[in-house]
Structure 1
Amino acid sequence: MNFPAVRALYTYEMVRFFRTLMQSFISPVISTSLYFVVFGAAIGGSIDTVEGVSYGAFIVPGLIMLSVMTQATTNASFGIYFPKFVGTVYELLSAPMNFLEITIGYVGAAATKALFIGVVILATAALFVDITIAHPFMMVLFLLLTCISFALLGFIIGIWARSFEQLQLIPLLVITPLVFLGGSFYSVTMLPPIWQTITHFNPVLYLISGFRWSFFGVADVPIGLSLFAISLFTLLGLGVVWLIFRTGWRIRQ
């Protein structure tokens, strides 16, 4: 393992993040506050509790997952797409680094950024509602795996994209709708039976359900199934990245 190279790549990506630290810090705070105003106050006024949890607290895990998934995907996709766009990716490929070291550098930085945003949102939410974490270890595990898996997805999107428009296509038109329809702001049990069945085909449901279970001990799907889903998603991401570097698909074009 070429640790100096991995550290250099990771540091470079994190420096780019810290240049806009205030923007990165203020944006999620404002967004979280607006969600609490709209969902917590407006909708929460007519919904006292969901599965024994106050509605304001119930939406916190969904808010964190929404931001973490989109931030991890966006940061990782831009991180690898920009070297492709300016042509410096060939210098990276000619460096004494294998695919795993390159992936750790980019994906690790994107996951760290998403984790930072998740912590900021959790701290902001604590100003609005009382939050208790029933299973802290599982909460951290789900958060880390989600950051890593969606950073891997973003890395794949960045390699696949041929334009800045394509770079934003999947996060905006696929990931965000799946999060909203995956029980981020409601329990699946509140839906009609037919929609409950349809929602179970949404892979994001299993991630949000497991993360919410770590807070309140309630879940829409079994916790074991949620762990299996997030682990499978992470392994699939690693497998696809390995295949891309092995074949050179779109990264050498």
Structure 2
Amino acid sequence: MNKKNIIMQNIKNIPFIFIGIVSIIFGLVMLWDTVILPLYKMNTWVKTTGEVVGYEKKSSSKIDDSGNSEQVDGYIAVIDYKIKDATNEVHLEMNNTPEIGTKYELYYNPKDDKDYILGGVNYLNLLFITNLIIGTWIIKENLLRTFKNRKDNKINNSLVNSGLQAIGKIDRIERSKDGFYQVVVKILMDNGEYHEYKSDKHKIIKDRLNIIGKKVSVYFDKNDYQKYYVDINNIK
């Protein structure tokens, strides 16, 4: 694989690495905001109980799939919670009619009793961990692919510069389950038998339907014929 191809493959990896980084950052931010920070407040703030003492109806317009406007009813529950001898009032938006007397667990900031959160954590938000996992996997796969390309290129260049050269004919093109192509080359050995050698995997092989039967160079390690490189950059 020539240097230009290596550079092009590594450039193609960059957008996926960027997507992975964005996924990790988004997952971390959302996990902190919706799970870690609420759990921290629940363990360090003052716990109390709030009770629904009333509610207000709130209507808003919504555009349906047909482009028509429809009224959607919502509710704002009025919740009282006591702090020592004082009572604070908070408002909570709801989709359904609040039931008077319903109690909620609240945690308020001891330094500012009007700063509060409702008790409980929506653990569905742990799905943001999926973003972390996906982002980490994307970065790992593309970084590994980048380093592998560099390593393979170094080995292949060494074989081309100091290895033994043989000329073979392209017998067929094989496609792996992961969607990559490999050129299969047959070489007539000294004992009269043909041996097959496969190229590195490539996402795209130009004119793959028209190169069957054409000649290519195969380079071998002088000390280990199992180490070889099929140079499909110079098909004749």
TM-score category of the 2 structures, normalised to the smaller one: under 0.3
Higher share in strand: 2
Structure with higher helix content? 1
Question: If the length of structure 1 is used for normalisation, what is the TM-score?
Answer: 0.23
Over alpha carbons, which structure has the higher Rg?
2
TM-score (norm 2): 0.24
